[in-house]
Every structure is written in C-alpha cells, then in structure tokens.
C-alpha cells in the first residue's frame, strides 16, 4: 500500500495525525538556524513554563556538575548544548501528547524513553558523532503506538489482549489484522509530518524490520536492538526477559559478541536506574 493510501486509511480510523506543539516547533526551527544564539532560544522557551523548568532541572543536575546554580534558559542552553536541548524539546512534545496518563500510557512512555537512552548508548559505541539523532529515533520509535493508544484506546485494548493471549513480543501482525496497518506505519507518517530527517523516519517505520532499511541501516538496526534490550530489561508493556540478543539480526549487523551484549545490558540497566532517579 502506498503511503498516501495508508495515510488516508489511518486518518479515517484515528482522525488527523497530531501536530507538534507550537513552542516546540519554534524551538526546533531556531535550533536548526546556524546563527541562533542561546538568547534566541531562551526568548522562545520562556513561553512554555513547564519546558523551561525541565531544561533548568537538567542543567542543574549532577551530570553537568556546575559550580553554581543555573538560573536562566540562556545559561542552561550553553551548559547542555543545542543537541541535548533538541532531544529534550522533542521528548517534552511527545510527553505533552498524553491528555490522560494511565498505566498503559505510563508503560509506553517509560519504554520509549528507555529505547531512546539505549539507542544513544549503542550509537556511542559505533557512531558517537551522531548519537543524539539515535536518541531521538529511539525515543520516537513507538510514537505510532502512543498515538493509536490516545486516539482509539478501545481498539488498542483488543491488540494488547491478543498480544498477551498469544504470548508474543511483536504486535505488528495483530495490528495489521485489527487495523490494516501497524504502529510503525503511523509513526513513519508522523515523523514525516513533523519534518524529521529521512533517517529518523526510516528507523521509526522499520524498527521491526531493520533489514529493509536503505537510507541508514545502522540507525534502524540500533533502534531494533535497543527495543529488544528494553523488552529484555522488562521496561514497558511487553516483557521478554529470556530473549537471546546474540541471535538477533541487529546484534550480528552491529557486530556485538555475546559477552559485549551481556555487558551492555547490565550497563544499560544501571544507566536507566540512575535516569529514573
């Protein structure tokens, strides 16, 4: 099915796909401007008090070990850098999509954040220069599932019940049967609507089928591996503690040994415990 036909089918079921919040969109546009200054960024962010508070909290966290309290967005931007700020703005935009925050939404959010951090961690071992892009791809990999949960929660209950009833770790076949498309398709279209790079769009669209990636197979395989690692760590609604990472196509593609995978899993477990506070 072509993307235009798929979009029409999705919109018929869910309504219009969500747009990125105005303030977040304005910040992201300004961050893409090579002439932008921290003060330019501050002038936009102060319109959103909750986003401003998150940025100041991060800049004053032990991770950055500042000798003094950071009190302005301009200072915070200088401390954390434009790339990290971009990731934080995107994470905030996705989090704000939830009008309600029940158990399913909480689990989906925790899983998305975990896959973002694990994707960045893996990227640091293979492509450290672009690791923040990998964080964004991982964070957004299930954006389609989040939107389906928000738009048609009753239908998503059917998917979740069948998923657990059949003891499977991949919802795409059930989604295709129930909806005629998958959360990955929805996510790919959202990434396109939000004007993310083709690499991120592809990683979201093919995170269950990394072998199909053509633009940036490395990113797609990284998100695929990070997704399964999060499932193995039992973060999110799908939990597969017995998954054998060494047999995964993405572990082979990324050339990780069994010993490396075991070490990575433990390091990610400790990292996510720290991030969770």
Considering the domain architecture, whether residues 38 and 107 belong to the same structural domain is answered as no
The residue segments making up the domain with residue 57 are 19-96
Considering the domain architecture, whether residues 195 and 125 belong to the same structural domain is answered as yes
Determine whether 229 is exposed, middle or buried from the number of CB atoms within 10 Å of its CB (0-12, 13-18, 19+).
buried
- What the block records as the tokens of 204 is 């979201």
Considering the domain architecture, whether residues 56 and 155 belong to the same structural domain is answered as no
**Considering 44, 67, 96, which residue would you say is the last residue of a domain?**
96
Q: Each residue of 88-106: pLDDT tens digit?
A: 899 888 887 776 677 888 8
Global confidence as pTM: 0.87
Considering the domain architecture, whether residues 76 and 140 belong to the same structural domain is answered as no
Q: How many domains does the chain have?
A: 2
Considering the domain architecture, whether residues 110 and 165 belong to the same structural domain is answered as yes
Q: Interior CA angle at 182 toward 179 and 188, to 5°? A: 130
Whether 277 shows a pLDDT value over 80: the answer reads no
Considering the domain architecture, whether residues 140 and 235 belong to the same structural domain is answered as yes
Considering the domain architecture, whether residues 88 and 106 belong to the same structural domain is answered as no
Considering the domain architecture, whether residues 129 and 217 belong to the same structural domain is answered as yes
Determine whether 53 is exposed, middle or buried from the number of CB atoms within 10 Å of its CB (0-12, 13-18, 19+).
exposed
Q: Each residue of 211-246: pLDDT tens digit?
A: 999 999 999 999 999 999 999 999 988 888 899 999
How many angstroms separate the CA atoms of 140 and 119, rounded? 11
Considering the domain architecture, whether residues 104 and 214 belong to the same structural domain is answered as yes
CATH of the domain at 258: 1.10.3210.10
How many angstroms separate the CA atoms of 114 and 108, rounded? 10
What is each CA distance from 2 to 128, 143, 208, in whole angstroms? 35, 20, 19
Q: Are 240 and 233 in contact (CB under 8 A)?
A: no
The distance of Cα 37 from the centroid of its chain, to the nearest Å, equals 27
**Considering 63, 96, 129, which residue would you say is the last residue of a domain?**
96
Q: How confident is the model at residue 45 (pLDDT cuts 50, 70, 90)?
A: very high
Considering the domain architecture, whether residues 35 and 125 belong to the same structural domain is answered as no
**Considering 81, 96, 111, which residue would you say is the last residue of a domain?**
96
Q: How confident is the model at residue 12 (pLDDT cuts 50, 70, 90)?
A: confident
Considering the domain architecture, whether residues 117 and 56 belong to the same structural domain is answered as no
Say which residue, 107 or 10, is predicted with more confidence.
Answer: 107
Q: Each residue of 138-149: pLDDT tens digit?
A: 999 999 998 888
Considering the domain architecture, whether residues 159 and 270 belong to the same structural domain is answered as yes
Say which residue, 226 or 15, is predicted with more confidence.
Answer: 226
pLDDT at 8: 75
**Among the ranges given (22-26, 49-53, 64-68), the one the predictor scored with the smallest mean pLDDT:** 64-68
The string of DSSP letters for the chain reads --HHHHHHHHHHHH-SPPPPPHHHHHHHHHHT-TT--HHHHHHHHTT-HHHHHHHHHHHTSTTT--SS---SHHHHHHHHHHHHHHHHHHHHHHHTT-SS--HHHHHHHHHHHHHHHHHHHHHHHH-GGGHHHHHHHHHTTTHHHHHHHHH-HHHHHHHHHHHHHTT-S--HHHHHHHHSS-HHHHHHHHHHHTT--HHHHHHHHTTT-GGG--S-HHHHHHHHHHHHHHHHTT-SS---TT--GGGSHHHHHTT--HHHHHHHHHHHHHHHHHHT-
What is each CA distance from 43 to 32, 84, 182, in whole angstroms? 15, 18, 39
């Amino acid at each position: 099915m072509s993307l235009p036909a798929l979009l029409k089918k999705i919109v018929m079921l869910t309504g219009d796909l969500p747009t990125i919040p105005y303030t977040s969109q304005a910040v992201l546009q300004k961050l893409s401007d090579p002439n932008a200054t921290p003060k330019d960024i501050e002038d936009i962010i102060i319109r959103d008090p909750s986003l401003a508070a998150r940025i100041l909290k991060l800049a004053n966290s032990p991770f950055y070990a500042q000798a003094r309290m950071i009190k302005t967005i301009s200072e915070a931007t200088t401390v954390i850098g434009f790339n990290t700020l971009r990731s934080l703005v995107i994470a905030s935009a996705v989090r704000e999509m939830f009008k309600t925050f029940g158990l399913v939404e909480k689990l989906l959010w925790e899983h998305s954040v975990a896959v973002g951090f694990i994707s960045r961690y893996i990227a640091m071992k293979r492509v450290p220069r672009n690791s923040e892009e990998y964080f964004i791809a991982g964070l957004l990999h299930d954006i389609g599932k989040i939107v389906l949960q928000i738009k048609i929660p009753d239908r998503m209950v059917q998917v979740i019940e069948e998923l657990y009833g059949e003891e499977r770790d991949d919802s795409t076949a059930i989604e295709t049967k129930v909806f005629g498309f998958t959360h990955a398709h929805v996510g790919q279209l959202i990434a396109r609507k939000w004007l993310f790079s083709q690499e991120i769009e592809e990683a979201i669209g093919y995170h269950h089928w990394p072998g199909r990636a053509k633009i940036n197979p490395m990113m797609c395989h990284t998100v695929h591996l990070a997704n399964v690692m999060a499932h193995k760590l039992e973060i999110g609604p799908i939990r597969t503690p017995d998954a054998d990472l060494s047999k995964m196509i993405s572990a082979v593609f990324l050339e990780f040994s069994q010993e490396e995978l075991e070490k990575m899993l433990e390091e990610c477990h400790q990292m996510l415990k720290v991030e969770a506070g």
